[in-house]
Chain A
Amino acid sequence: MAHILLRHRDIPGINQIDVYQKNGGFAAWKNAVTKMKPEEVTNVVKASGLRGRGGAGFPTGMKWQFMDNKNWPHYVVANADESEPGTFKDREIMEGNPFQFLEGVALASYAVGANVAYVYLRGEFWQVAAILDEKIADMEKAGCLGDDLFGTDYSLRIYTHLGAGAYICGEETAMLESIEGKRGQPRVRPPFPPSFGLYGKPTVVNNVETLTNVPLILANGADWYKSMGTADSAGVKIFSLSGRVRKPGNYELPFGTTFRQLIYENGGGILDGRPVKAIMPAGASSSLIVVDEKVLDTPMGYASVRPLGSDLGSASVIVIDDTVSIDWVINKTIHFFKHESCGKCTPCREGNYWMRHLTERIHSGSGSQADVDLLLTVAKQMQGKCLCALGEFSTMAVVTGIERFPQDFKKAVKA
C-alpha cells in the first residue's frame, strides 16, 4: 500500500515544493481557504475519526471545536518536541515530507481561525528547524503562506521555535510556557489550551503526525480515511519500532495490524532469534506487556491494547527479549524520568529521586526484597497525585515491571 504520511518513501523529491504540488500538494489548502468555511474543515476532520498521535489519542476535530470563539486571537502550535524514548517518527516526517506537515498546520490554523502558528521543535532538531524555515519560505514565495491568501482576506504565518532539551516541554501547557520564554513547567489544568493557551489566548496544540494526516483527509474525504484502521482507531499510524529487533525503524501501517506482523514481518524478528519477553508499546512511559502468543496476535489500536494492561500511546514499540532483565529496564526508564522531572510538583520531583536510588541499588545487586517492596510503594503513592502526565508515566514501567516480572527482581536482589 502506498504511504499516506511517509510519502517520501514512494515519491522521490516530495520535499521539493514543485514535486509536492505536482502530486496534489496544497490543493486541499487552496480549496479550504477559497471554498470552505472553517467549521466545514473541522467537520471533515471530526468525521474522519482522526485521533491525536502524540499519545493521548484525543479526537482531533473535537479539540478544534473546543476553541473559545469569544476570545481572540487564536493560535495553533504544532508539537514537534518528540522526546519520548522510543519515538522517532516526527523527525522522519519533517525531514522527508515537510510540506504535507506544513499544509496540515495551515489547515488546522484555518479551521480554528488562527493567523499565526508556531512549530515547537525540541532543541536537538536544530537541522530540522533549518529545513522547515526553508520550506516555509518556499511556501511564502509560492503564495501558500502570507497575507490575503488565494485572493481572500485570510492571512497566515508559520514560525519555528526551538526548545533546548527538556522532555517536559512535550506536555502541551509546558510547551506554551516555553514559547512564552519561561521555564517549561506544566500549568494547572483546567483551563485547557483551547480556552487559555499561548499568551492566555485559545490555542490548539497538535502533534506533527496528527497534522500530517489532515491534507489527505481533506483531499480524499472522511470516508476514505475511516475505511482504514479499526472502528475506534481510524486510519494509519507510524509505528516506531526499536529495541531487540533485526530491522528497527518507522513502519506506517493501518491500525489493527498485530504486534506479530510489526515485529516479525516488518521488523525481521528478534536479534539472534531469541523469544520476545516484553513489549513497551508507548515508549518509556509504557506499562510492560508480558508477551505470549495471544499478545503477539493482538491488533494494535487504542482500545485493543488496553485489555493487555497497557496503552498504545504514541505507538513507540520497544521490544525486549529474554536476554534483558526488567530491573535493568526500569533503572533505565527511571534514570530518564528523574532527569526530566521539571521539579514543579512534589510527588514527581521527590518520587523520581527516591525511585532512582532504589532502582540503582536493586540493579547494582546491593538491594533487598524490602527495597523492591518500597519501590513499588513509592510508585503507587505517586499515582494520581502528580500535576501532569510525566509523573504518572514514570511509575508505569516500575509498577508493571515489579508486578508482572517478579522473578527478575528476586534474582536481582539475590545476586
Chain B
Amino acid sequence: MSLAEKYPKEIKQILAKYPPEHKRSAVMPLLHLAQLQEGHVDRHAMQEIAALLDITETEVASIIGFYTLYHDKPEGKLRIQVCTDLPCALRGADKFLADLCGKLGIEPGGTTPDGLVTVEAVMCLAACDKAPMFQTQGPNGIEYHENMTVEKTMELIDGLKKNGGEVK
C-alpha cells in the first residue's frame, strides 16, 4: 500500500506545517512516517516521497544516509539503542551493553536469530543522569527506558516474545 493510501490525514497535517513553496521541509516527518510500521524506508516509499515533494529520489536517500535514525535496511523488529557516551559510561553503560549482548548471544550491532531484537550502541540520548539507559525504536516510534538493568531489559524482550513478536 502506498503512503498516500495508508496515511492521508497525517500527510496533509505534515504538509500544512510548512510554506507551500517550501514543501521539501516535509521530507523528514514523511520519512519518520514511512519508517514507522516497517522499521525501515524501502525504495517505493523513497520514490513516493520524492514525487510528493518534487525532489529526486537521490535527495531523499541522502537524507536517510545522513541522519542515524533512518534505516534503509530491515533489522530486528525492535531496535534497542544503548547510550555509551561519556556520562553514561561513567555509570556503567559499557558493561550494561556487553552484559546484555552476552545474555542475548549477539555482538553489539547484531540481531537475535528470531529477528526480534537488534542491540546497538548509539550516541548521547540526553538522559545522562538515568544511566544505564536505552531507547527502543520500533512500530510505536521511539521510547526511553531509563535506570535499566539487564534483568529488566530481558523482561521487556520476553514480553515481546510472548506477544508473538508484536510490539505493543
Question: Is A100 on the interface with B (CB-CB < 8 A)?
Answer: no
Question: Is B128 on the interface with A (CB-CB < 8 A)?
Answer: yes
Contact assessment for A91 and B86 in the assembled complex, using a CB-CB cutoff below 8 Å: no
Name the one of B19, B70, B86 contacting A86, with C-beta atoms under 8 angstroms: B86
Within 8 A of A (CB), among B1-49: 17, 19, 22, 24-29, 31-32
Q: How far is the CA of A268 from the CA of B119 in the complex (A)?
A: 33
Taking the closest CB of chain B, its distance from the CB of A310, in whole angstroms, is 16
Which residues of chain B come closer than 8 Å to A329, judged between CB atoms?
86
Q: How far is the CA of A82 from the CA of B125 in the complex (A)?
A: 9
Name the one of A90, A162, A179 contacting B32, with C-beta atoms under 8 angstroms: A162
Name the one of B67, B87, B126 contacting A184, with C-beta atoms under 8 angstroms: B67
Main DSSP-derived SS at the A contact region: mixed
Q: Give the size range of A's interface with the partner.
A: 35 or more
Q: How far is the CA of A320 from the CA of B144 in the complex (A)?
A: 25
Contact assessment for B27 and A183 in the assembled complex, using a CB-CB cutoff below 8 Å: no
Within 8 A of A (CB), among B94-149: 122-130, 135, 141-144
Name the one of A87, A167, A180, A248 contacting B24, with C-beta atoms under 8 angstroms: A180
**Considering only CB atoms, which chain B residue lies closest to A169 in the complex?**
B67
Q: How far is the CA of A199 from the CA of B29 in the complex (A)?
A: 18
Taking the closest CB of chain B, its distance from the CB of A11, in whole angstroms, is 22
Contact assessment for B126 and A181 in the assembled complex, using a CB-CB cutoff below 8 Å: no
Interface centre among A248, A320, A342 (most CB of B within 10 A): A248
Can you list 23 pairs linking A and B with CB atoms under 8 Å apart? A85-B85, A85-B87, A88-B128, A90-B126, A91-B126, A91-B127, A122-B126, A126-B141, A127-B144, A161-B17, A162-B28, A163-B67, A164-B32, A164-B67, A164-B69, A165-B68, A242-B91, A243-B90, A250-B129, A316-B128, A318-B90, A335-B85, A342-B66
Which residues of chain A come closer than 8 Å to B91, judged between CB atoms?
242-244, 248
Question: Is A212 on the interface with B (CB-CB < 8 A)?
Answer: no
Question: Is A166 on the interface with B (CB-CB < 8 A)?
Answer: yes
Q: How far is the CA of A86 from the CA of B63 in the complex (A)?
A: 27
Question: Is B157 on the interface with A (CB-CB < 8 A)?
Answer: no
Q: How far is the CA of A164 from the CA of B66 in the complex (A)?
A: 9
Which residues of chain A come closer than 8 Å to B26, judged between CB atoms?
181
Q: How far is the CA of A88 from the CA of B129 in the complex (A)?
A: 8
Which residues of chain A come closer than 8 Å to B17, judged between CB atoms?
159, 161
Name the one of A125, A184, A249, A336 contacting B86, with C-beta atoms under 8 angstroms: A336
Question: Is A324 on the interface with B (CB-CB < 8 A)?
Answer: yes
Within 8 A of B (CB), among A212-255: 240-244, 248-250
Name the one of B69, B87, B89, B143 contacting A165, with C-beta atoms under 8 angstroms: B69
Contact assessment for A333 and B27 in the assembled complex, using a CB-CB cutoff below 8 Å: no
**Considering only CB atoms, which chain A residue lies closest to B83 in the complex?**
A85
Question: Is A83 on the interface with B (CB-CB < 8 A)?
Answer: yes
A249-B123 contact in complex given A178-B28, A181-B24, C-beta closer than 8 Å: no
Which residues of chain B come closer than 8 Å to A249, judged between CB atoms?
129
Which residues of chain A come closer than 8 Å to B125, judged between CB atoms?
124
Q: How far is the CA of A250 from the CA of B17 in the complex (A)?
A: 33
Taking the closest CB of chain A, its distance from the CB of B47, in whole angstroms, is 16
Name the one of B29, B63, B90 contacting A183, with C-beta atoms under 8 angstroms: B63
Which residues of chain B come closer than 8 Å to A241, judged between CB atoms?
129
Taking the closest CB of chain A, its distance from the CB of B121, in whole angstroms, is 9
Contact assessment for B85 and A332 in the assembled complex, using a CB-CB cutoff below 8 Å: yes
Within 8 A of B (CB), among A103-125: 122-125
Interface string of A179-203 (1 = CB under 8 A from B): 1111110000000000000010000
Question: Is B160 on the interface with A (CB-CB < 8 A)?
Answer: no
Contact assessment for A164 and B70 in the assembled complex, using a CB-CB cutoff below 8 Å: yes
Q: How far is the CA of A179 from the CA of B28 in the complex (A)?
A: 8
Question: Is B62 on the interface with A (CB-CB < 8 A)?
Answer: yes
Contact assessment for A181 and B28 in the assembled complex, using a CB-CB cutoff below 8 Å: yes
Contact assessment for A243 and B28 in the assembled complex, using a CB-CB cutoff below 8 Å: no
Question: Is A350 on the interface with B (CB-CB < 8 A)?
Answer: no
Contact assessment for A123 and B142 in the assembled complex, using a CB-CB cutoff below 8 Å: yes
Contact assessment for A240 and B28 in the assembled complex, using a CB-CB cutoff below 8 Å: no
Interface string of A136-177 (1 = CB under 8 A from B): 000000000000000000000001011111110000000000
Q: How far is the CA of A96 from the CA of B19 in the complex (A)?
A: 31
Q: How far is the CA of A339 from the CA of B26 in the complex (A)?
A: 26
Interface centre among A83, A165, A184, A318 (most CB of B within 10 A): A165
Question: Is A84 on the interface with B (CB-CB < 8 A)?
Answer: yes
Contact assessment for B90 and A162 in the assembled complex, using a CB-CB cutoff below 8 Å: no
**Considering only CB atoms, which chain B residue lies closest to A199 in the complex?**
B22
Q: How far is the CA of A127 from the CA of B25 in the complex (A)?
A: 21
Which residues of chain B come closer than 8 Å to A85, judged between CB atoms?
85-87, 123-124, 128
Q: How far is the CA of A335 from the CA of B31 in the complex (A)?
A: 27
Name the one of A91, A184, A284 contacting B66, with C-beta atoms under 8 angstroms: A184
Which residues of chain A come closer than 8 Å to B69, judged between CB atoms?
123-124, 164-165
Contact assessment for B68 and A164 in the assembled complex, using a CB-CB cutoff below 8 Å: yes
Which residues of chain B come closer than 8 Å to A87, judged between CB atoms?
126, 128
Question: Is A340 on the interface with B (CB-CB < 8 A)?
Answer: yes
Q: How far is the CA of A126 from the CA of B66 in the complex (A)?
A: 19
